[in-house]
Amino acid sequence: MSLAKEQRIVLNNYDKINPASIDEYIAQGGYQALKKALTMSSAAIIDELKASGLRGRGGAGFPTWLKWSFTAPIEADQKYIVCNADEGEPGTYKDRLIMDKDPYRLIEALTIAGYTLGATKGYIYVRGEYPQSQQSLNTAITGTKAAGMMGKNILGSGFDFDLEVFSGAFAFVCGEETAIIESIEGKRGEPRIRPPYPGTVGLWGKPTVINNVETLANIPAILNNGGKWFASIGAVKYPGTKIMTLSGDVVNKTFVEVPTDTTLYDIIYGFGGGVTGGDFLAVQVGGNSGGVLPESLLNTPIDFDSMMAAGGSLGTGAVFVINDKRDLLDVVKNMAHFFTEESCGKCTPCREGCQRLYDFMVKVCDGKATVKDLKIANGLARVMNKSALCGLGQAAPTPVQTAIKFFGNKFEEKLLQNS
């Protein structure tokens, strides 16, 4: 079997340049895209993004051009671009790679975004656990300002742009885009109700676009090489590459940037070098909110739609491999516990439901759960999927749900028989 090859777009400069040096970034073609963008109209840039087919890399897969097209035409005294760098999904560190190893790429992308959207101020909301990324970005912001590519009248274009690094405070929910806004405003990080969407009423009530680090990092290459070039890479409906981060019972606990038509099998057995400590049992893809998938789905390409159709999700691109020596139920219990700690507690289904799902898993693991309990857990998970306030609560039951769906026999073995 021939394995897929890595293709680096967002990680193109990884370990090739000194991340603190703007000159080295420029020597690799850095800031060409910004220069080009400053000669283009906002609509033309959005058209290029549309041609590229770029969709969000944070987990929701929303077309980037479409998000931008809502905000760009709005007349407002102030608009904002916010970069979501609150990379909280366990097993995920793709954004950190970019911020630590190629911060200027992100800054260039944000400046292009600011220009396209008419946003003169940007924030990079970096999780509190990433002090080194914050430092890397701050160094790069200083370097960009010194090079005259941030601040007033950038490269004589008349466009002003300023960027600020904002540290999160160790809350998983602050990866949710409206919770980021609340947090930057100095409030408790809790998601807002939508509508209004941030694109029209966002940070400080102003139109705000929020994009993930990896999403943004693709933009300079798209402008340099053209949308068509990008669209030709990987899966048709979710083109480009995706950074996948491998952890768990896999030989190479590493990261790869691959075209989006690469299969899970290739990632685990090709780049990952196979399963360690035992045979393959399951893989959780996309972070802790992702599905726990069986071997039969390993031929699924990693793109957003294929993963969705298979009953999982691409999510952030984390690949957490579980071997057959593990007690899967115990692993899933641990996943459920995560959400009892990280639900913000704002809405009832998530606040109460995450705890109840965890309690259910404890009961299962203790051999005390009944068939009725299983039915109740399934019903609860359904309600959470459909009625929680934000994506966190809607996705929180996924590990338990997919475990029940794909590994139902493991549950049945543990359920009290005469129940």
Partner 1 sequence: METVTAVIDGCKVEVAKGTTILDAAKTVGIKIPTLCYHPDQSIKANCRICVVEVEGVQLLQAACATAVGKDMVIKTNTMAVREARKTVLELILAHHPQDCLQCIRNQNCELQTLAHEYNVRENRFEHIDENLLLDLTSPGVHRDPNKCIKCGRCIEVCERVQTAAVYSKYNRGFKVGVAPVLNLGLGEVACINCGQCVHACPVGAIYENDQHEQVWDAICDPKKHVVCQMAPAIRVALAEEFGLNAGELEMGKIVAALRQIGFDKVFHTNFTADLTIIEEGNELLHRINNGGKLPMITSCSPGWIKYCEHFYPDFLDNLSTCKSPQQMFGALVKTYYAEKASIDPADIYSVSFMPCTAKKFECIRPEMNSSGYQDVDVVLTTRELARMIREAGIDIVNIAPEDFDAPMGMYTGAAVIFGATGGVMEAALRTVYEVVTGKTLQDINFTAVRGMEGIKEATVDLDGLEVKVAVAHTTGNARKLLDAIRAGEKFYHFIEVMACPGGCIGGGGQPYGTTNEIRQKRIDAIYDEDAGLPIRKSHENPAITQLYEEFLKEPLGHKSHELLHTHYTKRSLYPFSKEEK
Q: Closer CB to partner 1, residue 121 or residue 363?
A: 363
Smallest separation (angstroms) from partner 1 to the CB of 282: 26
Residues contacting residue 186 through CB under 8 Å, at least 6 positions apart: none
292 near partner 1, judged by CB under 8 A = no
16, 50, 253, 351: residue in contact with partner 1 (rule CB under 8 A) = 351
**Residue type at position 208:** T
139, 340, 365, 414: residue in contact with partner 1 (rule CB under 8 A) = 340
382 near partner 1, judged by CB under 8 A = yes
Length of the chain in terms of residues written? 419
Q: How far apart are CA 98 and CA 110, in angstroms?
A: 13
Q: How far apart are CA 1 and CA 308, in angstroms?
A: 25
- Whether the ω angle into residue 196 lies within 30 degrees of 0, i.e. cis, is yes
193 near partner 1, judged by CB under 8 A = yes
Q: How far is CA 174 from CA 99, 150, 199, in A?
A: 18, 27, 18
Q: Closer CB to partner 1, residue 145 or residue 368?
A: 368
343 near partner 1, judged by CB under 8 A = yes
Q: How far apart are CA 257 and CA 264, in angstroms?
A: 13
289 near partner 1, judged by CB under 8 A = no
Smallest separation (angstroms) from partner 1 to the CB of 127: 15
180 near partner 1, judged by CB under 8 A = no
334 near partner 1, judged by CB under 8 A = no
At 58 the three-state DSSP class reads coil
Q: Closer CB to partner 1, residue 322 or residue 354?
A: 354
Q: Which one, of 374, 362, 356, 365, lies nearest residue 327 by Cα?
A: 365
Smallest separation (angstroms) from partner 1 to the CB of 293: 22
339, 406, 407, 411: residue in contact with partner 1 (rule CB under 8 A) = 339
By the 8 A CB rule, do 244 and 319 touch?
Answer: yes
171 near partner 1, judged by CB under 8 A = yes
Q: How far apart are CA 357 and CA 376, in angstroms?
A: 9
Which residues form the interface with partner 1 (CB under 8 A)? 171, 173, 188, 193, 195, 339-349, 351-356, 359, 376, 379-380, 382-383, 386-389, 394
